[in-house]
Amino acid sequence: MAKDLLFEIGAEEIPAGFMPNILGFMPNILGQLKQLAETKLNDAHLPFESIATYGTPRRLALIVKGLADTSAEISERHKGPSASIAYDADGNATKAAIGFARGKGLDVADLVVEDGYIYAETKTAGVPAKDIVTDMLPQLITGLNFPKSMHWGNLDAKFVRPVRWLVALLDEEVIPVEFATVKSGNVTRGHRFLGADEITIKNAASYVDTLKENFVMVDQDARRELISKQLHDMAASKNASIVWDDDLLEEINYLVEWPTALCGGFEESYLALPDAAIITPMKDHQRYFPLVDQNGKLLPMFLTVRNGSNHSIEVVQAGNERVLRARLDDAKFFFNEDRKKPLIDRQDGLTKIVFQEGLGNLADKTERLLKLGRVFGEECGLHEDAAVVLERATELAKTDLTTGMVTEFTELQGVMGKEYALLDGESPEVAEAIFEQYLPRFAGDVLPQTEAGKVLSIIDKVDNIVATFSRGLIPTGSQDPYALRRQTIGILNILLGSEWNISLRPIFKASMELLNVAADKQEELLNQVEEFFTLRLKNIFLDREVPHHVIDLLLSNNELSVADAEGLVNALLANRIDENVELVQAYTRMYNLVKDVEYTGVNSDLLKEDAEKALFEAASKASEASLAAWEANDYNAVVAVPATLVPAINKFFEDVMVMDKDEAIKANRLQLVRLAYSVMAIIGDISALK
């Protein structure tokens, strides 16, 4: 008879960002818990109907429904030695057969002979579900990965937060589990202030409803839906709209167990501040949702969510208003102080801010960016007007880091730079580029849209990446304290969305020179940076579900620009030459012959056979067509050319002996093969499709 399994880990408050995959973290505890349980049950061959995970600030829960009583019986067939070795001439079992049977727990008479070999057929009886889950549940606790874990007391055990209780039930039966001296039972805890200190869970099926009776909405999806409804209903009652943020909703969802929305207000005088100076303290520091009117103008109101009921809600509202008022007072003070000096007069302050250890200060970085911007501008053919904007924006780019506002609210770097630049009378284009230098700030963020903003964003990130690599601080595993992966993906996404068909290699080299990287170290560093970029580009294509071998084909060509890779990947997906078996075989055969041959030209006078003359004519035309298409960025044509040569290639290999005894003819034929292969080499290394 099928049963339900409940496993709850009760802990002190778990960081909200660790639960799902948001806020720049990637632990996704709930996803991990579900995947671990599913994998272990499948490995144990224990059938089940469904798995669900639930999470609140104080608990992680797993519910497996329809768990079978026992695991499935496992039948296995093991191949042994050949029959000629297993039995002698008289048909008697040898030591080889006897040993093989003993190793499988069988009598030698139970062995089966098929296809000239002996086989042992074994069966493993099913294991009771209770035994399986008793072994499994402790492994679920220790198998979870967190960005940071804690030890407590003098215990060796570690978890994201100290574990205070465990509930483990198979229907109503308690499964014995122990972790960090805490033993499992059927007793959980309700809401910290509204629920009972101890609550008995009668059986796994009653878990969600029992907790709800004690002011805990354990189902995060239902909780999220309720929060969203409460917020939107309250905003509508104020004739206002919410400055919505899905990540903020997700974070709030894991800060509360019993949500109740409330509306607070603040003095209208604060609206004289830039919107960003008001919204950032609300969202990033207080977890409030700002409100705007029907015209999108910020209102002196906010929404937030309380972890509790509406009892004494006005007291909670007043407390939230008081905290926000203090934050806005700080913002107002810093804003007024900052406005006493324009951005251009803050450049001297950059000398006091260290960029990276041993690599100078932000004034030094600004000088590098000015020079790097000129190099990039020449490479991409930046329009003169955009170049002027870029120069001015670069001069001012880091100056807002010296302001009190950004020092207090670091999230406003670039944002306040734009605001202050406009107030200083700088052009809107310059102000926008100052803001766009930090884009994209996170996965899925908007990309810079102005030409100057794109260039400034790219060169700023290149300088950060090359500088960090030059110090030997290359990201490994999950460690990436300087967010170099994010910055690299940002550069690639900007280039993928632009019209610039440029190589980053000259930019990397210029950056190394400006950072005074020793000449004998530059080649190695260049290779490391390019490899890092190539792997990030591969991940971008994988996220778009481009087949692995298609990506490998493209990225085997280290001469490709990002725009070339984008154009070719789209062309290859439209014209799947990787699925053309005859084409792949033909070019693979050529590749094996000429992979180490440098093309120096074909001597037509040495062409004797009709097939090689025909291939020379076809390859010459195809090579010209391929190069012309490449110059025109006609990637569909580039990808289509190789197929046109396949008949001539096949005929050539049928009729012509490439490795002729005459060395001159042999060498010439290899040159011919090299010429024909060039229409594939322009795309990538055909061996990637093997």
**What is the model's pLDDT at position 25?**
47
Give the closest residue to 232 by CA, choosing from 297, 278, 291.
Answer: 291
Please report, for residues 366, 375, 386, 450, 678, the alpha-carbon distance to residue 383 in angstroms, rounded to integers and kept in the order given. Answer: 21, 13, 5, 12, 35
Q: pTM for this structure? A: 0.80
In this prediction, the residues of the chain whose per-residue pLDDT falls under 70 are: 21-26
552-561 pLDDT, tens digit per residue, is 999 998 889 9
Q: CB 165: neighbour CB atoms within 10 A?
A: 18
Token pair for 399: 């100056």
Pairing of strands 182-185, 163-170: parallel
Calculate the average pLDDT of the chain: 93
**What is the model's pLDDT at position 446?**
93
Complete DSSP assignment for 276-335: HHHHHIIIIIH--EEEE-TTSPEEEEEEEEEES-STTHHHHHHHHHHHHHHHHHHHHHHH
Q: CB 315: neighbour CB atoms within 10 A?
A: 9
For residues 547 and 245, give the distance between their C-alpha atoms in angstroms, rounded to a whole number.
34
CA atoms within 13 A on the CB side of 410: 1
Residue at 387: amino acid letter? A
Token pair for 364: 């030094």
**What is the model's pLDDT at position 26?**
55
CA atoms within 13 A on the CB side of 7: 26
What beta strand segments (E) does 420-516 contain? none
Contact indicator for 452, 373 with CB cutoff of 8 Å: no
